[in-house]
Amino acid sequence: MRLVLILLSIFILSGCEKNEKIVFDTPNTQVENERAKVIFQRCQRCHGMKAEIQALTRSDIIAHYSKNDLIQALTLYQKGKRDRHRFGFLMKGIIVDLSSDDIRVLSDYISKIEDKN
Ligand code: HEC
């Protein structure tokens, strides 16, 4: 079942990519921030409520990452091409269903999370 889901998301993602034009430094709209906030809920148990914790005592504190670094790291995890502490597979599993647009919106949100309440 899980494999089917993964294959399905890869299929869908590769289909979307052709039409998607990503402008990396466009800030999130209010609506995009709301969407990012919901996605970010799945990161909080490991990375902290405000991305201020080292996940499983190992990862970097991702609140300190720039938007572009976040986009790059997440995209590589998704492709299974990043694995700094042997937990790359874990990160991949958590974000495998995100579209590249989700990743852009999420990365903008996290990179500015310290400014938020
Ligand atoms: C189950 C715990 C867990 C959850 C949930 C989780 N992460 Fe991670 N994250 C990790 C671990 C462990 C690493 C280190 C992975 C490795 O070995 O490269 C990591 C690494 C990262 C990195 C790179 C930091 C580094 O040290 O290289 C980013 C960026 C990141 N996570 C973002 C996210 C985002 C965004 C989410 C939510 C969509 C998320 N993570 C959810 C555990 C988690």
pLDDT digits (tens, 9 = 90+) for 56-76: 999 999 999 999 999 999 999
Q: Is 56 left (phi over 0), alpha (psi -120 to 50) or beta?
A: left
Q: Look at residue 13 and tell me if it is in a domain.
A: no
Containing domain of residue 57, as a range?
Answer: 28-115
List for the chain the helix, strand, coil content (%; round to 5).
Answer: 65, 0, 35
Q: Look at residue 51 and tell me if it is in a domain.
A: yes
Number of domains composing the chain: 1
CATH number of the domain to which 110 belongs: 1.10.760.10
Q: Distance, CA 54 to ligand 1 centroid (Å)?
A: 9
More confident residue, 38 or 12: 38
- The rounded percent of the chain whose pLDDT value lies above 70 is 81
Residues contacting residue 33 through CB under 8 Å, at least 6 positions apart = 105, 108, 109
Q: Distance, CA 13 to ligand 1 centroid (Å)?
A: 21
pLDDT, one tens digit per residue, over 84-116 is: 999 999 999 999 999 999 999 999 999 999 866
Q: Look at residue 65 and tell me if it is in a domain.
A: yes
Q: Distance, CA 14 to ligand 1 centroid (Å)?
A: 23
- The first and second tokens of residue 43, run together, are 């990161």
pLDDT band at 21 (very low <50, low <70, confident <90, very high): low
pTM value is 0.83
Dihedral sign from CA coordinates of 27, 58, 6, 44: negative
What pLDDT does 11 receive?
A: 64
Q: Look at residue 19 and tell me if it is in a domain.
A: no
Q: Look at residue 53 and tell me if it is in a domain.
A: yes
Q: Look at residue 10 and tell me if it is in a domain.
A: no
Report which of 116, 8, 25 is spatially closest to residue 70, judged by C-alpha positions: 25
What is the distance between the terminal CA atoms of the chain, rounded to a whole angstrom?
A: 39
What pLDDT does 55 receive?
A: 97
Indicate whether residue 54 lines ligand 1 (CB < 6 A): no
Average pLDDT score over the chain: 89
Alpha carbon distance 109, 92 (integer Å): 19
Q: Look at residue 76 and tell me if it is in a domain.
A: yes
Residue 23 has pLDDT above 60, yes or no: no
Among 12-16, 75-79, 85-89, name the one with the lowest average pLDDT. Answer: 12-16
Residue nearest to atom 21 of ligand 1 (CA): 59
Q: Look at residue 107 and tell me if it is in a domain.
A: yes
